[in-house]
Structure 1
Amino acid sequence: MSFWKTITRKEDPHVYANKDAHLVRSLRVRDFLALGVGTIVSTSIFTLPGEVAAIHTGPSVAISFVVAAVVAGLVAFAYAEMAAAMPFAGSAYSWINVVFGEFFGWIAGWALLAEYFIALAFVGSGLSANLRGLLAPMGITLPNSLSNAFGTDGGVVDIISVVVIAVAAVLIAMGASQAARVENVLVVLKVFAILLFIVVGLFAIKAANFHPFIPKYHETANGPFGGWQGIYAGVSMIFLSYIGFDSIAANSAEAVNPQKTMPRGILGSLAIAVVLFVAVSLVLIGMLPYQKYANSAEPVGLALRAAGHGGVATVVQTIAVVGMFTALIGMSMAGSRLIYSFGRDGMLPKWLGQLDKNQRPNRALWTLTIIAIVIGAVFPFAFLSQLISAGTLIAFMFVSLGIYALRPREGKDIPNPAFKMPFYPVMPALGFIAALFVFMGLDIQAKLYAGAWFVLGLVIYFAYGMSHSFLAKKGDTDHGGEKK
């Protein structure tokens, strides 16, 4: 078999359907809406609007959120069709494996894996920092050795981060439906906290804080500020806020009636998130001049206290800390299903693709959890943060283009989905271009980290995956008469 034919060998969608049939289908639209909102509306809604406004956009931060939402929305339509047509564990990895071939599926999946590893470490450390901030006024503090990553400010391990990531894994290990119930309750609490901030903040808005809405462009030590250049820089910084809808798609093999459940969950959660992000950013900027949010890790609390609502600030921040746990659940579920898919296909050791006696992919779950804990314990998050967006954007580009390979097969070897991406063939191209547009706006470090992760993925594929995958073994049987 030629090299090109080897890397483009495609998995039969019926094989995935059979392999994933053992997973329990228990998740409904409300569960996916909670997973999506819980993952998308996470740490970033309480931090990013103020930070981006101070660094790049000024009052026009809301425009950056809208532009980022348009890009995410274009890709979300492609995700919705893919998930409805092929409700397999592993989302983009499995889909691209079917429509483009093994190598391209591996690259898309490997890019997403970076998101899940680092996002788990990010949310865990963010939850830890916010919880410690709430406990400090009560005189409850932890030593630096138990508060920071190894080698950072005297840190050995961020113990709170380790505990909350592990607790999320224990909850998921008990079953996706049980985790979803907890997720549903926590998401309601988190949305309540956001709405409380918006309602209280509306009465403290000063129109003068919105002028000029788009400040004049100039360069700063942090890059462009003001003008459309600043808004574009803000989009690249904000985009990681919207990537959580992939966590819904990764669990599509556990969806009840995925033809309807998946599109509604993906598009519905993104729509809710956009409204909340834009509303929070507008209220936040209206309450205080954007310059006040520079170097503030808690702009929502800062704005509420400045407006004389210290009690509300405590309530909102307390619920926000609890609400961050929802992102840990969503990311852990999605990442573990992706690793399970790698093991299922032999791209990584096959024991990762084995289910326990209750038909749960818990080996993959604990592998993800341990690696995420190590990343959070060893690396200061600032070193790797933008790799979350970089890896996801690469997968988004693959999925957008994948619609062109999917359509000719719908109704043939792939079921004809109840939902299809509108304005075909124009919208898939727009989704690809939009994702590339955001990727090009990432800083050079993010692109370098993405390149290093890509090279590591190539090494693993050519050294292990290409020869150990089930497609390779199938090819050996088909062409050699017996397995080699």
Structure 2
Amino acid sequence: MSQRSDRSSAGLRAALVRRKPVDVLLAEGGHGEGGTLRRTLGLSQLTMLSIGATLGSGIFVVLGEAVPVAGPAVVLSFVLAGITALFSALSYAELAGMIPLSGSSYTYAYATLGELVAWVCGWCLVLEYGVSVASVAVGWGQYINELLDLTLGVTIPAALSSPPGDGGIVNLPAIVIVLLAMVLLLAGARESARANAIMVVVKVATLLLFCFIAFSAVEAGNFSPFLPLGLAGMSAGAAKLFFSYIGFDAASTAGEEAKNPQRDLPRAILLSLGIVTLLYCLVALAAVGALNWTGFEGSEAALSHVITTVLGNKLWAALLAAGALVAISSVVLTVLYGQTRILFAMSRDGLVPKALSKVDARTGSPRINTLVVSGFVAVLAAFVPLGNLADATSIGTLFAFGLVNVAVLVLRRSRPEMPRTFRVPLAPVTPVLGVLCCAYMMFSLDVATWLTFAGWMLFGLVLYFAYGMRRSKLARS
């Protein structure tokens, strides 16, 4: 009896740590159920994809929540969050060049840390991408109300534009933008990339316009005291704002649809992060310089609030709100794209139903996957408040990013001979710093966020042991 028990325990341990060889992963690239993904994306499109997924979610939505926590030091909060993101971005760049597949950090973990850790990472990515889409969709609803108020003097009733807990019943605008993004994704990756490129140009122009206007109203007194809530406030602000860096890794989810992934993915990841960080710091500096930090409390459409309060000019505020709508639409589109591709990879490995990796022969997109993910995100956006969504997204992202840094360390030891189109500088120091920064920012989040994360992980583990572990392709091979 004990021998049977020992064999059973040994079998379970072997199942949990089984790895998918990099060579096998690369051989499967692009292939799904009944079709293949199409390689149509170049460097500019991949960079735009990452900028589109990143730029907007923090500046247009979460800035109003971070300033009351950090004060004028919110500028440093962006820098701290950006440095944390940079360590992980370097690791993403190395792995994306080595393993250019749709699964992003889920796939990297599968190749290095074993199936259970890969599942946990993939489950974190479901939280990261799915919930962040829902969160910025909520922000889209806030800005459309801002635009309607400034131009027509009307707003959508709170019952139909806010989720329960924020004074409403359902957030209909959030549902609308998710469904519009779904329609674009169903048309195919190339069409989605073209629409995203146009929206990225509009959003960058909008943020530069805001800086031009706000810098003309900057008062030196608004920067004093610079650290009203101390270093703890700055760190807490950085933890909240890390949400705004989610998306730079979106290019890594397009590995099977890139024309030259080994060359272009690392470049797109690092280039997009640099552009986004510069814009974030400029906008934050202009915002807290133009309006005293105490005036941000309760402001949901923060940038329009700054322009309206400081200048009293509704025309500029309306233009800004319109730009924000385009910016947030781009985030919804690109992050929803990333979510579908991660589930595509998990489905191909057998860990989630195979229907999610079925590719439409006409468009080259995972049609059923897109419909399922969009429906889930739309429901989430309609009924869950923004603050809860943003914090839950940050903790899932930080966990996944930490695993990417660990994966670099593991592959440097286990597969040193593999060709790398980009190498993390100063390794192993840089990946270790990436892990430590992610851990530090995770522990800056509140207890409620940790409880939400623990509940999500527990639910994910139940699904893995009940379904994924037995249906895994590695289990059947």
- Please give the range of the TM-score, normalised by the shorter of the 2 chains: over 0.9
Query: Which residue identity is paired with 2:118?
Result: G
1:12 to 21, 26, 30: 21
Instruction: Give the one of 344, 348, 354 matched to 1:350.
Output: 354
Q: Deviations over 1:198-228 (max 9, x none)?
A: 112221111121122223xxxxxxxxxx211
- 1:338 is aligned to 2:342: yes
- Provide, for residues 323-362 of structure 1, a one-character-per-residue CA deviation record: whole Å limited to 9, x for no partner: 2100011111100001111111110111212211133212
The whole-number CA distance in structure 1 between the counterparts of 2:266 and 2:12 is 37
Q: Report the Cα distance in structure 2 between the residues aligned to 1:442 and 1:151, rounded to whole angstroms.
A: 21
**Which residue number in structure 2 is paired with residue 400 of structure 1?**
405
Q: What SS does structure 1 have at the residue aligned with 2:360? A: coil
Residue in structure 2 matching 1:113, options 115, 126, 147: 126
Q: Is the 8 A contact 1:74 1:431 kept in 2?
A: yes
Percent identity between the aligned chains?
A: 32
- Counterparts of 1:142-221 in structure 2 under 5 Å? 142-149=156-163, 153-155=167-169, 157-215=170-228
1:364 corresponds to: 369
Equivalent AA in structure 1 for residue 12 of structure 2: F
Q: How much has 1:242 moved relative to structure 2?
A: 0.7
Deviations 1:94-139 (A, max 9, x none): 1110111111111011011011221121111211121122113415
The equivalences for 1:121-136 within 5 A come to 121-136=134-149
CA distance in structure 1 between the partners assigned to 2:166 and 2:85 by the alignment: 34
CA contact (8 A) 1:49 1:284 kept: no
Query: Separation in 1 of the partners of 2:291 and 2:149?
Result: 25
1:399-478 equivalences under 5 Å are 399-410=404-415, 412=417, 415-474=418-477
What residue in structure 2 maps to residue 77 of structure 1? Answer: 90
Compute the displacement of 1:18 (Å): 2.9
Q: Which string of whole-angstrom CA distances, capped at 9 and with x for unpartnered residues, describes residues 254-309 of structure 1? A: 11211221111111111111111111111111112111111111232222222344
Preserved contact between residue 243 and residue 390 of structure 2 (Cα < 8 Å):
no
Query: Which of 377, 383, 402 pairs up with 1:378?
Result: 383
Aligned length: 460
Matched with 1:34 is 48
Note the C-alpha offset of 1:162: 1.3
Distance in 2, matches of 1:367 and 1:437, equals: 34
**CA-CA distance at 1:470 after TM superposition:** 0.4
Give the Å deviation of 1:72. 0.4
Q: Is it true that 1:23 corresponds to 2:23 in the alignment?
A: no
SS in 2 for 1:45: helix
Distance, in Å, in 2 between the alignment partners of 1:241 and 1:19 is 32
Q: Report the CA distance between 1:38 and its aligned residue.
A: 1.5
CA distance in 1, matches of 2:377, 2:206: 28
Paired position in structure 1 for 2:4: none
Structure 2 residue runs without a partner (length 5+): 1-9, 31-35
CA 1:398–1:34: 2 relative to 1, 3 Å:
same
- Give the letter aligned to residue 443 of structure 1: D
1:259–1:6 distance in 2 versus 1, CA, 3 Å: same
User: Partner residue of 2:330?
Assistant: 326
Deviation at 1:310, TM superposition (A): 3.1
Partner Cα distance (1:397, 1:154) in 2: 37
SS class of match (1:253): coil
Distance 2:204 2:471 in 1: 45
Deviation by residue 1:54-108 (Cα, 9 ceiling, x = unmatched): x222211111110111000001000000100000111011111011111111101
In structure 2, distance between residues paired with 1:58 and 1:441: 17
- The amino acid across from 2:98 in the alignment is A
Displacement of 1:239 in angstroms is 0.8
What is the one-letter code of the residue matched to 1:106? Answer: W
Give the TM-score normalised by structure 1: 0.91
Q: Which secondary structure does the structure 2 equivalent of 1:250 belong to?
A: helix
Q: Following the alignment from structure 1 to structure 2, what is the Cα–Cα distance between the partners of residues 382 and 238?
A: 12
Partner of 2:65: 51
Q: What's the Cα RMSD here?
A: 1.7
Amino acid in structure 1 at the alignment position of 2:301: E
Give distance in 1, aligned partners of 2:164 and 2:237: 30
Verify the 8 A CA contact 1:49 1:280 in the aligned structure 2.
Answer: no
Q: Distance in 2 between matches of 1:385 and 1:242?
A: 12
Q: Structure 2: how far apart are the matches of 1:153 and 1:50?
A: 19
Distance in 1, matches of 2:155 and 2:167, equals 15
Distance across 1 between alignment mates of 2:316 and 2:118:
47
Paired residue type of 1:466: M
CA distance in 2, matches of 1:302, 1:42: 16
Q: 1:347-399: per-residue Cα shift (whole Å, max 9, x none)? A: 01112122111332122111110111122233334344311011111111111
Unmatched 5+ stretches in structure 1: 216-225, 475-484
| SS at 2:426 equivalent | coil
Distance, in Å, in 1 between the alignment partners of 2:160 and 2:305 is: 26
Residue type matched to 1:80 in 2?
A
| Preserved CA contact (<8 Å) 2:79 2:277 | yes
Q: d(CA) in 2 for partners of 1:115 and 1:145?
A: 27
Whether the 8 Å contact between 1:39 and 1:331 is mirrored in structure 2 is yes
SS of match in other structure, 1:385: helix
Bigger mean CA deviation after superposition, 179-188 or 305-314: 305-314
Shift of 1:154: 4.8
What displacement does 1:30 show? Answer: 1.1
1:203-242 superposed matches below 5 A: 203-215=216-228, 226-242=229-245
Tell me, what secondary structure is at the counterpart of 2:390? Answer: coil
CA distance in 2, matches of 1:473, 1:443: 42
2:134·2:389 contact (CA, 8 Å) conserved in 1? no
What's the counterpart of residue 252 of structure 1?
255
Q: Are 2:88 and 2:404, in contact at CA under 8 Å, matched by a contact in 1?
A: yes
Cα pair 2:18 2:115 within 8 Å, conserved: yes
Q: Which amino acid aligns with 1:310?
A: K
- The one-letter code matched in structure 2 to 1:153 is G
Q: Report the CA distance between 1:246 and its aligned residue.
A: 2.3
Distance 2:381 2:301 in 1: 21
Other-structure match for 1:219: none
Cα offset for 1:145? 4.3
Q: SS in structure 2 opposite 1:357?
A: coil
The answer to whether structure 1 residue 307 and structure 2 residue 311 are counterparts is yes
Contact kept? 1:50, 1:290, Cα under 8 Å:
no
